[in-house]
A and B are shown apart, each in its own frame.
Chain A
């Protein structure tokens, strides 16, 4: 299984806002355990989906020069269950962005209904953990995540050049 919790960017405004969609399918093994006979998309994995959407938005804002790590989930609330066949939309906005960190607000949509909210604080770890050594390479934004950003197309043209 690959640790990618959305399928495609639908909108991407550099440094501001991104929308990603996730199609929930019974082909995902975890749904058969959560729960047997009653498959529900786990809220924890929707938080991860938002974190990946917002994390790439924050990373792109500084041209992926920083290692962006989830520092804190400020808030996560869900009002409805999500089932196989549903398409969830993660809408993330950058609220604050500094040299060392970023704060994002996020809304989770099912069709035209907002069904959740996930607000996150990210840390640029190289700026916050002085004294600790991290690998030189950017292990956060791997090729797998870069490929996700390239999935965004606007009017048939790539909007994000990497």
Chain B
């Protein structure tokens, strides 16, 4: 099976984000956070998922990109912060995201910050090239 190079995936993801979020191409960098840097609202994520599915011919179950069960599981929560077991579960569920910064202050209200452009590209890369 031929694989799609990361640069090609990035170019397509960039086009989608430019279109959905009305941002400039040069704003869509690897480290850009979809919400705070690119202005995505929760409803835009639905739109982005649909376009990724269409562009790459993949199916993206919502729970695969964002597992709600972890952040709503009382066993993993201490007030609104994830405990060590919660962070470990999250790392397993979201291998495509860089959780280094989140781990320092695992406040679930800050979890949206892990959705960077690179995280989306990693996710798509995994789906496209490994199924």
Is the Cβ of A121 less than 8 Å from the Cβ of B47? yes
A109 to chain B, nearest CB (A): 25
Interface residues of A in 58-104 (CB under 8 A from B): 71-72, 74, 95-96, 100-101, 103
Interface residue ranges, A against B (CB under 8 Å): 71-72, 74, 95-96, 100-101, 103, 121, 123, 128, 130-131
Is the Cβ of B43 less than 8 Å from the Cβ of A123? yes
B39 to chain A, nearest CB (A): 13
17 contacts between A and B (CB under 8 A): A71-B43, A71-B47, A72-B44, A72-B46, A72-B47, A96-B50, A96-B53, A96-B54, A100-B46, A101-B50, A103-B50, A121-B43, A121-B47, A123-B43, A123-B46, A130-B68, A131-B72
Tell me if B62 counts as interface (CB < 8 A to partner A): yes
Indicate with 1 or 0, residue by residue over B60-79, a CB within 8 angstroms of chain A CB atoms.
00100000100010000000
Please report whether the interface of chain B is mostly helix, strand, loop or mixed according to DSSP.
helix
Q: With A100-B62, A130-B68 given, is the CB distance from A72 to B43 under 8 Å? A: yes
Q: Please report the total number of B residues contacting A with Cβ < 8 Å.
A: 11
Residue among A103, A123, A131 with most chain B CB within 10 A: A103
Contact residues in B for A128 (Cβ distance below 8 Å): 46
| Bound Cα distance A72, B41 (Å) | 11
Contact residues in A for B46 (Cβ distance below 8 Å): 71-72, 100-101, 121, 123, 128
Indicate with 1 or 0, residue by residue over B32-60, a CB within 8 angstroms of chain A CB atoms.
00000000000110110010011000000
A94 to chain B, nearest CB (A): 11
Residue in B closest to A96 when the chains form the complex, CB atoms:
B50
A74 to chain B, nearest CB (A): 7
Contact residues in A for B44 (Cβ distance below 8 Å): 72
| Bound Cα distance A72, B20 (Å) | 10
Residue among A74, A100, A121 with most chain B CB within 10 A: A121
| Bound Cα distance A71, B62 (Å) | 16
| Bound Cα distance A90, B57 (Å) | 28
Residue in A closest to B44 when the chains form the complex, CB atoms:
A72
| Bound Cα distance A128, B62 (Å) | 10
Is the Cβ of B68 less than 8 Å from the Cβ of A121? no
Q: A72-B43, A121-B46 are in contact. List 8 more A-B contacts (CB 8 A).
A: A71-B43, A72-B44, A72-B47, A95-B50, A100-B46, A121-B47, A128-B46, A130-B72
Residue in A closest to B20 when the chains form the complex, CB atoms:
A74
Contact residues in B for A100 (Cβ distance below 8 Å): 46, 62
